[in-house]
Structure 1
Amino acid sequence: MTEHSRWNAGRELRVGARVMVRRHLQGGETSHLYTDVLGEVVGLEPLRVQPKSGSGAEVTIASEDIAVLKVLPPRPVLVRDIRALTWAAARGWPGTETEIVGGWMCRAGDSWSYRHGAAVPVQPWAVDTDLREVAAWYAARELPAWVELPRRLVAADQLLVDGSRLTSDAASAMEAAGSGELEVRTAALDALVPAEAAAGGGSSATTGALPPGARIELTDSPSDGFLAAYHGTAMHSRERVAPTLAAHTDGVRFAHLLIDGELAAIARGSLSAADSGPATLGISCVETTPAFRRRGLAKDVVIALAEWARGQGALSAHLHVFRRNSAGLALWSELGFAPHHRTLHAPIPPG
């Protein structure tokens, strides 16, 4: 199909891409010879486009009817969109206790994951809050005090600590002590799940052509096998990690892909939203056990979670992936997850 376009500038035609398609009309459709469709690709072979308004019916376009196919650059991400997704993502990992402190969403759970202990800037005035208030909240719970710093939302040298903004050297040292930079990526659920797939929240789901002897189970708490397979929890007791892992605001499911009864792949999915807007699916803890790697099974558990979330009314999915994780970046690109913004987690400097 790309032979129809001279203006793609190297952009790939894939599910999730924004396109403008000029197509030939059939006799009797209208007096015009062509019409333009502007929207998002939801399927290939044949090309299927969801109009940009989201209210129009999906358009299927045969290859021979395409006159021009232009792949457009990604839609600009606004600061308010970053804040909304940051808030929703934090609510997908709420911990066992949550409180807003000076515009920061503080979460208590356990120190086994940087994600649980990081306070998130959910209000515009968070940047003017002295982080000693946030640190005191964590100290009262005997937890390390970390904050999340979404790019374009909050910069380390904007932070107020002990009544003063951090110097550039102190800001650099704070970031260097942190988790490393992550990409936050998003995808429309309709692009992940075939339109004809059944959506539901039962105890099991299928994703289409699974390997022989395979099945996927969705549960509302992680199994012992899940905790042993996930690298972040494998070294800790169930009592330590399960309460935080299973905490949620609008729903959570743990996907277990089993082949002949043996656990092959896992993933966690949580539903959450900012103060307004539809719920979004947060995908995390995606792991394939060593004996079953390089078979594409991670995609199956992700699609199973997307299927469940769409049945609950969610429209989109998001995830965090370390920028140093080249294999993860390639997987999410293949599934149609596009970059939204970057973020990192870092400890509040000691007083």
Structure 2
Amino acid sequence: MSLHPTDVGHRVVVRRVLTGPDAERPQFGDVLGELIELDAERQCVVVRTPTAEVVISVADIVAAKRIPPRRVKDLELERIAALGWRGSDTEQLGGWHLRAAGGWTGRANSVLPLGDPGVPLDEALNFVRSWYADRGLPPLFQLPLPATRRLARSLEERGWRDLRGALVLTAEIADLRLPARDLPPVTITGEPDADWLAAYHYRGTALPDVAVEVLRNAATPGFASVRQDGRTLAICRLTVDEGWVGITAVEVDPAHRRRGLATHLLAGALDRADAHSVYLQTEPENTAARAMYEKLGFTQHHVYRYYGAA
């Protein structure tokens, strides 16, 4: 067997014998999934598949190896990310997910097209315009690319404009290079307290009242912070959905930058998350953040762009 403790938490394929020792012709079967345990005492391995946890005796293993992670497509990852950052008011139009939250953040106030709207495009766009107008908001699309390139072209033909965008970076948690730091511990709470909220400045501004509602609006949000002598030095928000950790709202006190607080915070947050992979977003122009994340082991998964009506 070629599996090692370092393979725990990664995808593996295990070929095993299915027939007994007296079979005239042995039959084999493959188990594909996440290796969750190497049990030396019981001489077995445990692999989590999409339907069950499979216990395999070492004696039955013909071959086993670690394999690359399953590539999650752009739209699938954005569907998962939408679970972690939600609008407070939502509606479905076929495969289009309409979200609104008082105008705070693009992701919570835009259409995420995960499939066909179920009606002709112009009819769907009229519905979008009306839906957002009823809420006092401009119509906005979040378009993951390249998956929605055709829709982007159709919007451009109708006068919609590319306004801004973001890069989505991902990594397998087990592969991240997170150096240990001699810094105060990372604490995680289920609610953002006043100090956490005071430390967060979305696009450099203070948070509106609706922001707290958006930040809390997830299945299991966590609010991580590093504090010292009564002062909050760094914060981030994390959510866990379908094996993915979403890291958002990362901010470090300007007076305490270049101490490794961001990586220390990330390590502390991921250490307590029951997940296999992590995603985060950063602006294309933020070259310093991109360089830091790439050094840790993140790679670019896709981009998304916001399109607004003319």
User: How would you bin the TM-score normalised by the shorter chain?
Assistant: 0.7 to 0.9
Return closer, same or farther for 1:87/1:57 CA change in 2, 3 Å cut-off.
closer
Distance 2:112 2:278 in 1: 19
- Which structure 2 residues correspond to residues 21-60 of structure 1 after superposition, within 5 A? 50=10, 52-53=12-13, 54-56=33-35
Q: Secondary structure at 2:103's aligned position in 1?
A: coil
Distance 1:57 1:101 in 2: 39
Runs of 4 or more, structure 1, over 6 Å off, are: none
Q: Secondary structure at 1:133's aligned position in 2?
A: helix
Distance 1:339 1:218 in 2: 27
What is the aligned partner in structure 1 of residue 170 from structure 2? 186
CA contact (8 A) 1:99 1:105 kept: yes
Shift of 1:132: 2.1
**Residue identity matched to 1:259:** Q
Shift of 1:108: 1.6
Distance 1:244 1:57 in 2: 34
What is the aligned partner in structure 2 of residue 226 from structure 1? 196
Shift of 1:302: 1.4
- Which structure 2 residues correspond to residues 260-339 of structure 1 after superposition, within 5 A? 260-272=229-241, 278-310=242-274, 314-339=275-300
**Residue identity matched to 1:141:** R
Return closer, same or farther for 1:266/1:231 CA change in 2, 3 Å cut-off.
same
Q: Secondary structure at 2:300's aligned position in 1?
A: strand
Number of residue pairs matched by the alignment: 260
Return closer, same or farther for 1:141/1:238 CA change in 2, 3 Å cut-off.
closer
- Which structure 2 residues correspond to residues 128-277 of structure 1 after superposition, within 5 A? 129=121, 130-155=124-149, 158=151, 165-167=154-156, 170=159, 174-175=161-162, 178-180=163-165, 182-192=166-176, 209-211=181-183, 214-232=184-202, 235-237=205-207, 239-248=209-218, 250-272=219-241
Shift of 1:267: 0.5
Note the alpha carbon deviations across 1:67-100, whole angstroms, 9 max, x for none: xxxxxxx98956xx21110111111111212221
What is the aligned partner in structure 1 of residue 88 from structure 2? 96
Note the alpha carbon deviations across 1:210-244, whole angstroms, 9 max, x for none: 32xx1322112222222222220763455232111
Distance 2:36 2:89 in 1: 43
Note the alpha carbon deviations across 1:156-204, whole angstroms, 9 max, x for none: x6359xxxx4455945xx11xx123x2211112233499xxxxxxxxxx
Shift of 1:131: 1.9
| Identical-pair percentage | 29
CA contact (8 A) 2:201 2:207 kept: no
Return closer, same or farther for 1:167/1:298 CA change in 2, 3 Å cut-off.
closer
CA contact (8 A) 1:228 1:234 kept: no
**Residue identity matched to 2:210:** R
Distance 2:37 2:136 in 1: 53
**Residue identity matched to 1:286:** V
Return closer, same or farther for 1:233/1:254 CA change in 2, 3 Å cut-off.
farther
What is the aligned partner in structure 1 of residue 21 from structure 2? none
**Residue identity matched to 1:144:** P
Distance 2:271 2:167 in 1: 23
CA contact (8 A) 1:128 1:159 kept: no
CA contact (8 A) 1:103 1:124 kept: yes
How large is the RMSD of aligned CA atoms in angstroms? 3.3
User: Structure 2-normalised TM-score?
Assistant: 0.72
Distance 1:220 1:301 in 2: 16
Q: Secondary structure at 1:179's aligned position in 2?
A: strand
Return closer, same or farther for 1:179/1:209 CA change in 2, 3 Å cut-off.
same
- Stretches of structure 2 that go unaligned for 5 or more consecutive residues are 14-32, 39-67
User: Structure 1-normalised TM-score?
Assistant: 0.64
What is the aligned partner in structure 2 of residue 71 from structure 1? none
Return closer, same or farther for 1:106/1:265 CA change in 2, 3 Å cut-off.
same
Return closer, same or farther for 1:336/1:127 CA change in 2, 3 Å cut-off.
farther
**Larger strand percent:** 2
Return closer, same or farther for 1:134/1:247 CA change in 2, 3 Å cut-off.
same
